[in-house]
Amino acid sequence: MGALVGLCFGVGCLLVWVAVRLPRQQRAESRQRTRTERLLAEAGLREVAPRSLVALCLGSAAAAFVLFLGVTRAVPIASVLGALAGYLPMAVVAGRARRRQREFAEVWPDAVDDLASAVRAGMSLPDAVAALAVRGPEPLRPAFDGFALDYQVSGRFGDCLDRLKERLSDPVGDRVVEGLRIARDVGGGELGRLLRSLSAFLRDDLRTRSELEARQAWAVNGARVAVAAPWVVLLVMSTQSTVIERYQSAAGAVVLVTGACLCVFAYRLMMRMGRLPAERRILR
Domain contains 124: yes
User: Domain limits at 195?
Assistant: 106-208
DSSP for residue 85: H
Domain assignment of residue 267, yes or no: no
Domain for residue 138, yes or no? Answer: yes
The pTM for the full model equals 0.73
Per-residue pLDDT in tens (0 to 9) along the chain, 284 residues: 554 444 455 555 555 555 545 444 444 444 444 778 888 888 888 888 888 988 999 999 999 999 888 887 888 888 888 888 888 898 899 889 888 988 888 898 888 888 888 888 888 888 888 999 888 889 999 999 999 999 888 888 888 888 898 888 888 888 888 878 877 776 556 677 777 787 888 888 888 877 777 777 777 777 778 888 888 888 788 777 777 777 777 888 888 888 888 888 888 787 777 666 666 665 56
92 domain residue, yes or no? no
CB neighbours (10 Å) of residue 162?
Answer: 14
199 neighbors 116 (Cβ within 8 angstroms): yes
- Domain assignment of residue 136, yes or no: yes
Q: What is the DSSP letter of 98?
A: H
What's the half-sphere exposure (Cβ side, CA atoms, 13 Å) at 48? Answer: 19
Distance of alpha carbon 239 from the chain centroid: 37
One-letter identity of residue 82:
G
Residue 248, SS3 per DSSP = coil
pLDDT for position 93? 92
Beta strands per DSSP E along 81-209: none
Say if 171 falls within a structural domain: yes
Residues 149 and 171: their CA atoms lie apart, in Å, by 23
Residue 78 placed within a domain? no
Instruction: Tell me if residue 44 falls in helix, strand or coil.
Output: coil
Q: Give me the pLDDT at residue 31, please.
A: 44
Among residues 280, 47, 41, which one has the least CA distance to residue 168? 41
pLDDT at 198: 78
Q: What is the largest CA-CA distance in the chain?
A: 84
Please give the Cα distance from 43 to 101 (Å, whole number). 8
- Which residue type sits at 155? G
pLDDT value, residue 12: 57
pLDDT the model gives residue 30: 41
Number of domains in the chain: 1
Distance (Å) of CA 58 to CA 10, 70, 81, 87: 42, 18, 13, 9
pLDDT for the residue numbered 63: 92
Residue 12 lies in a domain: no
For residues 107 and 140, the answer to whether their CB atoms sit within 8 Å is yes
